[in-house]
Structure 1
Amino acid sequence: MTINTAPAAVAAQSITKTFGTEDTKVAALDDVSIAFRPGDFTAIMGPSGSGKSTLMHCLAGLDTVDAGQVAVSSTVISGMSDHDLTLLRRSHIGFIFQAFNLVPTLNARDNIVLPLDLAGAKVDEAWFDQIVDTLGLTDRLTHKPHQLSGGQQQRVAVARALLTRPAVVFADEPTGALDSNTGAEVLELLASSARDMGQTIIMVTHDPHAAAYADKVVLLKDGAVVGHLDDPNADSVLAALAELGE
């Protein structure tokens, strides 16, 4: 089943998501429609409880919606079985988490190729070499996570996310565990992935300086999209968040 989302890498149509029951019911997402174009780097921001993490989880198929549809590469994922979602995420979606989520017993190379190993797919060595060279990991491939700095571990996570050439990479506070200098390096790598490789990136962040690396900022409040910023900078993001009452 497909819907007409040809211009979009990821699209949501009128999605809602609630938590709790009766008196404790809370609308985390309230009739949200949004589309993300291929090759765009988009930051999702909003006050605490605005629904930004819930939106990302629903777009990535990590959580289900109560109503509406989510599509990745024009394929509707709403209502998919867990097995089919797992297969789709392996081939179409990359993830970068704040906590890196590397396997401690595997070296950097094995961590990077792990999604392909799990899928029984062959590594495109030329693409692998290009990614690790771009990320400055060529001389770190035999190192295990505990032998790498925080920035190097996050670069491994970025490489793992890019290796499958996914339709979209979701980044959940990717610099939250990094110092400011290392965080800036990782954000520039994400920006260059969109700019130079055409990679679609959707990042949830609370940091205006991180959001300034994106092409666009989507603003959420009370489970609804309430605005956006094109070509954001830290000052414009701070002003927008202040208007939302963060």
Structure 2
Amino acid sequence: MGLTKTYGEGDSAVAALDRVDVAITKGRFTAVMGPSGSGKSTLMHCLAGLETPSAGRVLIGGTDITAMSDHDLTLLRRDRIGFVFQAFNLLPMLTARDNVLLPLTLAGRRVDIERFEHVTTVLRIADRLDHRPSELSGGQQQRVAVARALITSPDVLFADEPTGALDSRTSAQLLDFLRSSVRELGQTVVMVTHDPRAASYADEVLLLADGRVAGSLTGPTEDSVLAAMKGLGE
């Protein structure tokens, strides 16, 4: 609420976010789009607790994360937030199963077998769990990374340009999986993307321009997203 993020001081100060008010709907797939420099990545980093806003508050499930200590923020990111990035960041010496379960292992948490089986089935990696990353295709590695992000049942899954390094077929598969996690697992997903086709998989598109909310689209299509971006000067 009222999120502001300023870099630098005095005359050289740049406002990446300017009093942004955003409400992310639980159990929905929200895409964040805008021209380069619009503040979309900064917004996601603030919402995920990776950056501290200069002003305003971020609430996740009723918890004000802007008031948290660094230690408590670290625990919150580990236990209640999932991340998917362009790089898969899988550990090469671990099997797919152990990579998926890594967040629970590090937290000393018990594995919910039903959740594990559901996630790996939805993401179609149940038959690849004994393979190491080098034995998996790029798309399979990305699915393992998504499963790892979902295994803790996070309040929110944040995806930062997750299709940027993928070919069109693998990209479509990943977006299908993200949409499936919303519809079949009840997951809340927030994805930053520059790709209108990727945004068309979302339930809603949030548009940013010059660090401010410039509009939104419900039930987006690739054409409607393209038209909206053109209206922002992209």
Task: Report the TM-score range of the alignment, normalised by the length of the smaller protein.
Answer: over 0.9
For residue 19 of structure 1, report the CA deviation from its aligned partner: 0.8
Is residue 2:149 matched to residue 1:166? no
Taking structure 1 as the reference length, what is the TM-score of the superposition? 0.93
The one of 186, 193, 210 aligned to 2:181: 193
Q: CA RMSD in A?
A: 0.9
Residue 26 (structure 1) shift: 0.5
Counterpart secondary structure, 1:227: strand
> What code does the residue aligned with 1:28 have?
A
- Contact 2:122/2:180 (8 A) holds in 1: no
Equivalent runs, 1:61-76 vs 2, <5 Å: 61-76=49-64
8 A contact 2:122–2:181 mirrored in 1: no
Aligned to 1:145: 133
Q: CA deviation at 1:95?
A: 0.5
Identify the match of residue 123 of structure 1 among 93, 111, 115.
111
CA distance in 1, matches of 2:167, 2:59: 35
| Partner of residue 74, structure 2 | 86
Task: Give 5+ residue unaligned stretches, structure 2.
Answer: none
Cα deviation 1:62-97 (Å, max 9, x = unaligned): 000111100111100003111101111121111111
In structure 2, the residue corresponding to 1:171 is in which secondary structure?
Answer: strand
**Which residue number corresponds to residue 217 of structure 1?**
205
Of 157, 161, 164, 1:176 maps to 164
Counterpart amino acid of residue 56 in structure 1: M
Q: What does the per-residue CA deviation read over 1:208-228, in whole Å, with 9 as the maximum and x for residues that have no partner? A: 000000000000001000100
Q: Post-superposition shift, 1:240?
A: 0.4
Name the residue aligned to 1:134.
122
Moved over 2 A (4+): none
More strand per residue: 1 or 2?
1
Provide the C-alpha distance between the structure 2 equivalents of 1:24 and 1:79, rounded to a whole number of angstroms: 28
Displacement after TM superposition at 1:23 (Å): 2.5
TM-score (norm. length: structure 2): 0.98
Following the alignment from structure 2 to structure 1, what is the Cα–Cα distance between the partners of residues 3 and 122?
37
Task: Give the Cα separation in 2 of the matches to 1:143 and 1:91.
Answer: 26
Q: Does structure 1 residue 108 correspond to structure 2 residue 108?
A: no
- Cα–Cα, structure 1 residues 221 and 107, in superposed 2: closer, same or farther, change >3 Å? same
Superposed CA deviations along residues 173-223 of structure 1, whole A, max 9, x for unmatched, are 111111101110110111111112211000000000000000000000010
Aligned to 1:35, the other structure's residue is in SS state: coil
The question of 1:36 aligning with 2:24 is answered: yes
Q: CA deviation at 1:58?
A: 0.2
Identity of aligned residues (%): 64
| Cα displacement string for residues 125-182 of structure 1 (whole angstroms, at most 9, x for unaligned residues) | 1210111111111121122212211110110011011111111100011111111011
CA distance in 2, matches of 1:44, 1:222: 14
Match for 1:79: what amino acid? A
The number of residues matched between the two structures is 234
The corresponding residue for 1:202 is 190
Give structure 1 stretches of 5+ with no counterpart: 1-12
SS at match of 2:216: strand
**Aligned letter for 2:94?**
L
Residue type of the alignment partner of 2:2: S
Equivalent residue number for residue 228 of structure 1: 216
